[in-house]
């Protein structure tokens, strides 16, 4: 028998656990988890389906291939197949098939700017054999519990509908064919080995997971329930309403008490509170507190956590396919609320111990306390601490390096504060944090965050400039001052704009500031300094809303649909800068991993390492802060801190 070199596979599974909410790691832990169908192709041959639900067995050669590190295993969203097959093979809890011999067709598609769904990729590529659309109904029927008329749940077996089961097998077979079709179509754009190395580390981090303080999570949810019950009862006593949480009922009650409003939004309630009195003020304050109350992150933690108290699968590799940045899944660690409580540990202890009344007496807002404690639910395993390190002002450093904005690079070389330096450059006076002209630092900070990628007055407003005390008439002068202070960055925007347009118009290769722009097979590629390429599908020159020229391309838009998207120089610069920052983080994580440091989570430009208490934070920051060989002249710095539960320093 010839040696197998590759195996393409796709599985259909059953579990009573909700896959979308729990993630594949928790899903596959369920006692009733089962692989129903195993579709596969060996070395590109015609695919077959093994009906495991009806007693068929995987051929020995397939079983051997699954565990053979020399055989490349391909699947769309390969993490799902790999983790489920780990359970099928009865690997110990918390142990999974080695991802080093697995390749993901979804990641391959993402590197080319394509959708993160099998159906979406097949449609965009116009494959001859598309994913069968009736699959969703078949999956709902055979792979999940069905609710009966009396409200009880039941499971449908193959024998319940043999005709549907045959259709399900055909669906499984077609998925393998579709995945193989994607591989064939993308073969001229292979994923570089370096990117597969990054994918391998990502899978190892996801397999490792991060420990959760289950007691804190449980008590936080109980505290929220208690808070809502108490405050709803109080709101009923004050208003006499059956449901004071109903906007309609509350607005009518307020009207009877002298306050007329069309909205009870957060901003509207804040304005109403300024003039409200007595019972109306109490009712609005309760409304505000009840609106703050949300324990979605805690309930997500309860849903995701495994039997060993670790949450897995929280990071999506190449989740942002315009830049290749990582994105969050399930608990969504990329948008955790910040913590500002000075006595965070005390608040955490009170909630963890169920001392809810004490927490309500000591703090103005229990919902705010619960929100600030979300980060602290992540804890290191016994004998370890968290070593948290992140890049200092990474995007500001990258754009200054790319543009050659020397005064900014000097600020970083001197270890200065970029917000103070920016304000000083803009207003031509010395600015020191908590010192001379310190009030200008906030304007420098807002300008830095809002204006680096071509933003103007609208960007300042969306960053909260007006809420931070800036007057409307200050905004346009602030934009002008920032641009005058950063002429090289402004030049970078428009140099990239010209290079992209010339590339698309002439279908040729252009260059700007060390970045190459290539047109190949109907795709605009932006070649980063690392060698990685960003992809923009079917680019063309169109017209923007102002009647000028614009580059458009096809991609996933804000509505999560495949559509034509308009872009221009500063937006491409934003993609480039964030993509370079991503490459810097990816390389830093590889170095940390090779040095033996176990990363359990990473958020934006920050890594969380679970390490023994004697580990060196200085060593971690040194390793992380090294400049890649392809980024000569870029000044990086990593700062860090050590903690016994995750928090912001």
pLDDT in tens, 92-120: 989 999 999 999 999 999 999 999 888 88
C-alpha 574/C-alpha 489 separation (Å) is: 11
Query: Distance between CA 106 and CA 569 in Å, rounded?
Result: 28
- What is the pLDDT at residue 403? 97
Task: With H, G, I as helix, E, B as strand and everything else as coil, classify residue 60.
Answer: helix
Cα–chain center distance at 159 = 41
**Nearest C-alpha neighbor of 513 from the set 496, 535, 532, 533:** 496
- Separation CA 405–CA 418 (nearest Å): 13
φ, ψ of residue 310 to 5 degrees: the values are -110, 140
Instruction: Determine how many CB atoms are found less than 10 A away from the CB of residue 593.
Output: 17
Is the confidence at residue 231, as pLDDT, over 90? no
| Domain edges within the chain | 6-191, 209-378, 406-485
Which of 455, 459, 463, 457 lies closest to 493 in space, CA to CA? 455
Is residue 52 within 8 A of residue 35, CB to CB? The reply is yes
Confidence band for 529, pLDDT divided at 50, 70 and 90: very high
Q: 262-289 burial, b if ≥16 CB within 10 A, otherwise e?
A: eebeeeebeebeeebeeebbbbbbbbbb
Separation between Cα atoms, residue 584 and residue 577, nearest integer Å? 11
**CA 13, chain centre distance (Å):** 26
Query: pLDDT value at position 1?
Result: 55
Cα–Cα distance between 83 and 91 in angstroms, integer?
10
Q: Are strands 310-311 and 533-543 parallel, antiparallel or unpaired?
A: unpaired
φ/ψ region of 332 (left if φ > 0, alpha if ψ in -120 to 50, else beta) reads left
Helices (H), 381-471: 394-403, 406-413, 418-427, 441-451, 457-462
Average pLDDT over residues 419-427: 88
* Assigned fold of 6-191: Nucleotidyltransferase; domain 5 (3.30.420)
Distance, CA of 624 to CA of 618 (rounded, Å): 10
- Other C-beta atoms closer than 10 Å to the C-beta of 69 total 9
* Lowest-confidence segment of 130-139, 234-243, 387-396, 499-508 by average pLDDT: 130-139
| CB contact at 8 A, 57 and 50 | yes
The Cα 337–Cα 372 span in angstroms is 6
pLDDT at 149: 83
Q: Which residue has the higher pLDDT, 534 or 277?
A: 534
Q: Which of 244-248, 354-358, 437-441, 463-467 is the least confident region?
A: 463-467
Q: For residue 467, name the pLDDT band (cuts at 50, 70, 90).
A: confident
Average pLDDT, the chain: 93
Q: Tell me: pLDDT of 233 over 80.
A: yes
- Environment class of 326 (CB within 10 Å of its CB; exposed 0-12, middle 13-18, buried 19+): buried
Question: Residue 342: is its pLDDT beyond 60?
Answer: yes
What are the distances in angstroms from CA 626 to CA 27, 410, 583?
A: 39, 18, 13
Contacts of 251 (CB under 8 A, 6+ apart): 261, 262, 264
What span, in angstroms and rounded, lies between the C-alpha atoms of 285 and 258?
16
CA 77/CA 199 separation, integer angstroms: 12
Higher pLDDT, 548 or 469: 548
* Neighbouring C-beta atoms of residue 229, cutoff 10 Å: 10
Q: Do residues 115 and 108 touch, judged by C-beta distance below 8 A?
A: no
**Digit-coded pLDDT (tens) for 403-422:** 999 999 999 999 999 989 98
Report the distance separating Cα 485 and Cα 422, nearest Å.
8
* CB 443 within 8 Å of CB 433: no
- The answer to whether 118 touches 130, Cβ cutoff 8 Å, is no
pLDDT band at 383 (very low <50, low <70, confident <90, very high): very high
Q: What is the pLDDT of residues 14-51, one digit of tens each?
A: 999 999 999 999 999 999 999 999 999 999 999 999 99
278 touches 357 (CB < 8 A): no
**Residues 6 or more apart in contact with residue 6 via CB below 8 angstroms:** 42, 43, 44, 71, 72, 73, 74
Name residues whose C-beta falls within 8 Å of residue 523's C-beta, 6 or more positions apart in sequence: 112, 113, 189, 535, 536, 537, 538, 539
Distance (Å) of CA 561 to CA 105, 172, 288, 310, 564: 20, 25, 34, 33, 10
Which residues 6+ apart lie within 8 Å of 513 measured at CB? 402, 403, 404, 492, 495, 496
CB 30 within 8 A of CB 18: no
Give mean pLDDT, residues 451-460: 91
Mean pLDDT of 307-318: 97
- Secondary structure letter of residue 95 according to DSSP: -
Range with the poorest average pLDDT among 186-190, 208-212, 456-460? 456-460
Decide if 489 contacts 403 (C-beta within 8 A).
yes
pLDDT value at residue 142: 96
> What's the pLDDT score for residue 133?
75
How far is 464 from 469, CA to CA, in rounded Å?
9
Query: 234: which residues sit within 8 A by CB, 6+ positions away?
Result: 286
Question: Highest-confidence range of 129-138, 235-244, 429-438, 482-491, by mean pLDDT?
Answer: 482-491
3-state secondary structure of 306: coil
Cβ neighbors of 227 (< 8 A, separation 6 or more) are 293, 356, 360, 366, 367
Separation between Cα atoms, residue 102 and residue 96, nearest integer Å: 12
Distance CA 17, CA 381 (A): 26
**List of residues 6+ apart from 30 with CB closer than 8 A:** 15, 16, 17
d(CA 196, CA 103): 8
CB 129 within 8 A of CB 185: no
């Amino acid at each position: 028998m010839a040696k197998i070199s590759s195996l393409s596979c796709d599985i259909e599974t059953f579990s009573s656990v909700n896959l979308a909410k729990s993630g594949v790691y928790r899903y596959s832990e369920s006692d009733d988890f089962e692989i129903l169908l195993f579709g596969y192709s060996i070395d590109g041959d015609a695919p077959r389906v093994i009906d495991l639900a009806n007693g068929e067995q995987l051929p020995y050669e397939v079983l051997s291939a699954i565990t053979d590190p020399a055989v490349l295993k391909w699947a769309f969203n390969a993490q799902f197949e790999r983790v489920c097959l780990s359970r099928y093979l009865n690997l110990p809890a918390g142990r999974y098939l080695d991802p080093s011999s697995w390749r993901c067709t979804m990641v391959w598609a993402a590197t080319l700017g394509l959708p993160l769904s099998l159906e979406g990729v097949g449609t965009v590529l116009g494959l001859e054999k598309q994913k069968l659309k009736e699959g969703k109904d078949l999956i709902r029927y055979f792979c999940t519990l069905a609710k009966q008329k009396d409200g009880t749940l039941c499971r449908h077996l193959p024998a319940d509908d043999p005709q549907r089961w045959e259709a399900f097998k055909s669906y499984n077979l077609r998925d393998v064919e579709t995945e193989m079709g994607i591989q064939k179509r993308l073969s001229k754009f292979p994923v570089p080995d370096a990117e597969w190395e990054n994918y391998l580390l990502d899978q190892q981090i996801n397999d490792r997971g991060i420990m959760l303080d289950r007691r804190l999570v449980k008590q936080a949810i109980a505290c929220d329930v208690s808070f809502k019950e108490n405050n709803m009862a109080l709101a009923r006593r004050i208003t006499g309403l059956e449901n004071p949480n109903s906007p309609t009922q509350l607005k009518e009650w307020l009207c009877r008490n002298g306050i007329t409003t069309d909205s009870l939004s957060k901003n509207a309630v804040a304005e109403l509170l300024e003039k409200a009195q007595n019972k109306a003020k109490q009712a609005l304050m309760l409304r505000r507190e009840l609106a703050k109350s949300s324990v979605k992150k805690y309930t997500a933690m309860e849903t995701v956590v495994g039997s060993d108290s670790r949450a897995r699968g929280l990071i999506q590799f190449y989740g942002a396919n315009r830049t290749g940045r990582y994105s969050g899944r399930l608990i969504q660690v990329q948008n955790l609320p910040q913590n500002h409580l000075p006595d965070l540990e005390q608040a955490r202890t009170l909630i963890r111990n169920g001392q809810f009344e004490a927490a309500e007496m000591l703090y103005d807002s229990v919902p705010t306390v619960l929100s600030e404690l979300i980060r602290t639910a992540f804890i290191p395993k016994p004998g370890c601490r968290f070593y948290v390190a992140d890049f200092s002002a990474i995007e500001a450093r990258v754009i200054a390096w790319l543009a050659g904005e020397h005064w900014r690079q000097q600020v970083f070389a001197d270890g200065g504060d970029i917000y103070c330096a920016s304000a000083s450059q803009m207003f031509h006076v010395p600015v020191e944090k908590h010192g001379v002209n310190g009030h200008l630092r906030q304007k420098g900070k807002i300008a830095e965050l809002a204006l680096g990628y071509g933003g103007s007055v609208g960007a300042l407003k969306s960053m909260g400039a007006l809420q931070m005390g800036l007057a409307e008439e200050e905004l346009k002068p602030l934009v002008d001052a920032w641009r005058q202070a950063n002429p090289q960055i402004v030049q970078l925007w428009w140099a990239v704009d010209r290079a992209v347009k010339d590339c698309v118009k002439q279908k040729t290769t252009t260059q700007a500031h060390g970045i190459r722009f290539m047109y190949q097979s109907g795709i605009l590629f932006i070649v980063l300094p690392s060698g990685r390429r960003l992809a923009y599908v079917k680019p063309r020159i169109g017209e923007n809303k102002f009647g000028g020229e614009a580059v458009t391309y096809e991609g996933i838009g804000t509505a999560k649909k495949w559509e034509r998207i308009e872009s221009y120089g500063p937006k491409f610069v934003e993609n480039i800068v964030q993509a370079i920052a991503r490459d810097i983080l990816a390389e830093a994580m590889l170095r940390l991993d090779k040095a033996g440091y176990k990363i359990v989570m990473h958020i934006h430009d920050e890594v969380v390492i679970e390490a023994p208490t004697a580990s060196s934070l200085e060593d971690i920051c040194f390793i992380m802060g090294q400049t890649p060989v392809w980024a000569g002249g870029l000044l990086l710095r990593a700062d860090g801190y050590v903690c016994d539960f995750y928090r912001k320093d």
